[in-house]
Chain A
Amino acid sequence: MGSLIHDPRDRGGLQQPMLIARDLRKHFLVKGSGGKSVKAVDGVSFTVGKGETLGVVGESGCGKSTLARLLLHLLKPDTGELVFDGDPVGIVPGIAVDALRRQVQMVFQDSYSSLNPRMPVRDSVAFGPFVQGKKKDEARHIARELLAKVGLDPGVFGPRYPHELSGGQKQRVNIARALATGPRMVILDEPVSALDKSVEAQVLNLLRALKRQFNLTYVFISHDLNVVQYISDRVLVMYLGRVVEIGPIGAIFERPLHPYTRALLASRPSMDPARRIQEPPITGDPPNPIDPPSGCRFHTRCPFAEEVCTTTDPKLGNWQGPQSHVAACHMHDPLSGHSRAASV
């Protein structure tokens, strides 16, 4: 877990999670379909402890990026609530969305489109502090310091335009931009997936170092299990807009509970040529999120699917504390009636 330095902005104390998401839902209406909607995020609940890194993994289109945007209120959730450090977000005796954005920032996946092509990168970094009331000189000063912190010489790179930087450098600028407003929590939406492997490692190390230095909390979204394993303290596995499993990193990678998580882990290429993958661990595409399967959403691709899986929606196990490891699967619910429920 993160360091225990006291932050003057801390309100709820160390035991209070940095962020609680409760039953977040976001459906996008599909035009011309007669009121059908894409259920991008469909009842997602989790907590992020102070100073921890929560990894979010899942296939493309499972709602990871939508979730990231919901956490920052860049998209308004249809239902559900967010509690930031004990204060409900966007409700009157709580924390306003503006104030939330002073404490939570985001790093985007596409380093190309996430910087203004007509603005020198130091101005892009200085923009956040500037709109939050800092004078132009102060904002520039902050930008210079942060560019140095992310490993870019502000004198050389500050006046450059995004097209004059490499992908890794741009992503460093994006990180500096996210940190410029002094956030306590950063949502990283696939921050390294567009980078090649050597740069990816540098950026990941940078992220870890910055986390320690600024006492940050991360929500790290990625489809790359190795990256998530490297950086996360806990992992949340998403499938078709739902949480299927959540737990500490060691537990998830050593004893995955949900068949989907197991399939994801099995699909990782092995370093050992003798243990290369022979059979695809999971077949087919995810079902259409406009019309998700009944019952357990994974039953169409699950090797253990039974009658109960097609009819009853599994509950995300008995969640007890920040370190508990739970999965939404009938095989782990002794009362579900699944034939393997007792044996697993």
Chain B
Amino acid sequence: MFKLAKTALMTDTIVLDQAREGFDEQAIPATRVRGYWQSVLYRLRHDPLTLFFAAIVLLIVLAAICAPLIAPFGPFKESIVGRLKPFGWRSHLLGTDELGRDMLSRLIYGGRVSLMMGVVPVLIASLVGGMLGVVGGFVGGRTNTAIMRAMDVFYAFPSVLLAVAIAGAMGGGMGNGMLALTLVFIPPMCRVAETATTQIRALDFIEAARASGARTTTIIRYHVLGNVLGPVFIYASSLVSVSILLASGLSFLGLGVRPPVPDWGLMLSTLRQSIYVVPLVCALPGVAIFITSMCCNLVSDGLRAAMDVRM
């Protein structure tokens, strides 16, 4: 018996040495190792459609940022004689609105408000909702039940109705509009983060991290967040277009920004009475909303395809 054990030990050593040197699993040539985000970028680079729409979104964003530099007229400059003029009237490339203001300039400036209303609520909601979801999902039990049932209360209302109700109750204005949209987006964000966290929490590497003595906060920071970020980001990117649409809707109903601030929704609302006079000009803010939200949506679809990989 003893002798047997000894030979077994000797073979161990041999096998281990083999493993160090010529173990055929290692014979694979050293390939370039790509991390998750690197591989997402790689896949995005090979998706021309998404890149094209991303370029349009980028263009709209740049135009909005550089509005004072590229807008041909001031957004508030009125003219009694030049009201509701068609495309190309006296160097007004896209015509003028009901107060004689240049449409192109107002559309460019309006992008600032619309994009801000599209991005800021989603960002804040991802942070707040994501945090609530991660904590709830990781801690589980009663904390999770409390958080998720509170979210369900918000879920009970249709999102448009909820946004209108909150904005209506607090009064109009850009700040209140953004707050209303943020509150609308927190529950779905929270749910996405919670689902992802619950899945991660059940995996052994969390248990292994706990076994190595890590505290809950450390585990969340190093092991949970990295895995939850992907799904949250994908969902958030799809919410941007929803947010732009909702914000325009709020402005259209007079619950968002107040005139004379240029905003696509508000412009659409005030110009709709003149639809029979200059139909094309009146439709422009709608076209802007449509193009922006569609491009955001398509980019988010591309992102989803690039990021949604089983690893």
Q: A: which residues have CB within 8 A of B?
A: 69, 72, 74, 98, 101-102, 105-106, 108-110, 113-120, 124, 127-128, 131-132, 148, 151-153, 155-157, 159-164, 166, 168-169, 174, 177-178, 180-181, 201-202, 205-206, 208-209, 212, 230, 250
Contact = CB atoms under 8 A, between A and B. Distances in A.
Contacts of A128: 212-213
Q: Please report whether the interface of chain B is mostly helix, strand, loop or mixed according to DSSP.
A: helix
Contact of B33 (A114, A151, A159, A166): A159
A323 to B, nearest CB: 14
B210 interface: yes
A108 B204 contact: yes
Given A74-B211, A164-B33, A206 B19 contact: yes
Nearest to A180: B212
B208 A114 contact: yes
Contacts of A174: 208
Given A102-B213, A128-B213, A168-B25, 13 more contacts: A74-B207, A106-B208, A109-B204, A113-B203, A113-B204, A119-B223, A120-B33, A127-B214, A151-B19, A164-B33, A202-B15, A205-B15, A230-B8
A203 to B, nearest CB: 10
A197 B11 CA distance: 17
A342 to B, nearest CB: 31
Given A205-B15, A250-B1, A161 B36 contact: yes
Among all A-B residue pairs, the 6 with the closest Cβ atoms: A151-B19, A128-B212, A114-B204, A113-B203, A118-B226, A131-B214
A161 B210 contact: no
Contacts of B227: 116-118
Contact of B11 (A102, A106, A164, A205): A205
B273 interface: no
Nearest to A105: B211
Contacts of A181: 212-213
Interface string B189-220: 00000000000000111011111111100100
A156 B35 contact: no
A118 B206 CA distance: 13
Contact of B204 (A110, A120, A155, A180): A110
Interface string B1-33: 100000011011101100110010110001001
Contacts of A166: 25
B130 to A, nearest CB: 16
Given A113-B203, A168-B25, A202-B19, A127 B33 contact: no
A117 B207 contact: no
Nearest to B210: A74
A108 B207 contact: yes
B276 interface: no
Which of B12, B23, B208 neighbours the largest number of chain A CB atoms within 10 Å of its CB? B208
A168 B210 CA distance: 23
Contacts of B8: 208, 230
Nearest to B29: A156
A253 to B, nearest CB: 12
Interface residues of B, number: 35
Nearest to A181: B212
Nearest to A117: B311
Interface of B: 1, 8-9, 11-13, 15-16, 19-20, 23, 25-26, 30, 33, 35-36, 203-205, 207-215, 218, 222-223, 226-227, 311
A152 B204 contact: no
Contacts of A153: 26
Q: Which of A102, A116, A153 has the most CB of B within 10 A?
A: A116
A131 B212 CA distance: 8
A7 B307 CA distance: 49
Given A116-B227, A131-B218, A205-B15, A148 B213 contact: no
B19 A208 contact: no
Nearest to B20: A151
Contact of B16 (A159, A168, A206): A206
A116 B214 contact: no
A177 B214 CA distance: 14
A214 B252 CA distance: 72
Contacts of B204: 108-110, 113-114
A202 B214 CA distance: 31
A16 B125 CA distance: 57
Given A106-B208, A208-B9, A160 B33 contact: yes
5 contacts: A113-B204, A114-B203, A148-B20, A168-B25, A208-B8
A2 to B, nearest CB: 12
Contacts of A230: 8
A318 to B, nearest CB: 25
Contacts of B213: 98, 101-102, 128, 131-132, 181
A106 B214 contact: no
Nearest to A189: B204
Contacts of A159: 33
Contacts of B215: 131
A124 B20 CA distance: 21
Contacts of B19: 151, 202, 206
Q: Which of B11, B210, B215: most chain A Cβ within 10 A?
A: B210
A163 B35 CA distance: 11
A132 to B, nearest CB: 6
Nearest to A233: B5
